[in-house]
Chains A and B, each alone.
Chain A
């Protein structure tokens, strides 16, 4: 959890670097403008999170996934980000997979030495489905009202 309000800011040095790289060489960005962009970026994260969360909730999922974030971009009319995001995600996943395979291989080698039995099914993720319980109070109230009328 965020303990101080500064925790919700993004690091200024990184934001400044990203701005510099986006603009033509030699553009002077005022301190006030840099601060404003940094705040805008935090608000963007919150806005995107809230949009993505709506999609997850509609699908009765508790965990935000990549599809939710992409759907959020579309809803926010940042379609221009979709292509670069998909490409970046693919590269990222390849990197993750490569790492996973390497460590997986190491683990297996180790286990082979120690033990010949191996359980492959442990990687499977369990998806948990939870249904929201309907509020009984609301229903009762509605019924009562009907009776009165």
Chain B
């Protein structure tokens, strides 16, 4: 395992390959942490790494474009949480990008729910 990792690192250096900037060895580690996966060929590894880069670009850009910080030139966490909630392709991120709400607002909505239940 260690040897093959060193190899792939060398490979990306040796070819002067500016195709991808994320480390392939790290992506492989994440992929292998999935219990069902036994082996991954070199092309699949390359494609997943490249896809992850495209994904980062796409997530950042669409969160910014639909976000609230366009005038102030900022990208904030809430823009990402909104993208996860509103864009269908980003729905799988809602668990790790939960919307933040103030405790005050949460308590209020909790109260409201209890009142509604009481009404019924």
Contact = CB atoms under 8 A, between A and B. Distances in A.
Contacts, number: 199
A45 to B, nearest CB: 5
A43 B34 contact: no
Contact of A53 (B37, B53, B88): B37
A85 B47 contact: yes
Secondary structure class of chain A's binding surface, majority of residues: helix
A81 B53 CA distance: 10
B51 A78 contact: yes
Interface string A59-85: 000111110111001001110110011
Interface of A: 1-2, 7-8, 10-11, 14-15, 17-19, 21-24, 26-30, 32-33, 36-37, 39-50, 52-53, 57, 62-66, 68-70, 73, 76-78, 80-81, 84-85, 88-89, 91-93, 95-96, 99
Interface size class of B (residues with CB under 8 A): 35 or more
B51 A85 contact: yes
Contact of A64 (B1, B39, B63, B97): B39
B30 A42 contact: yes
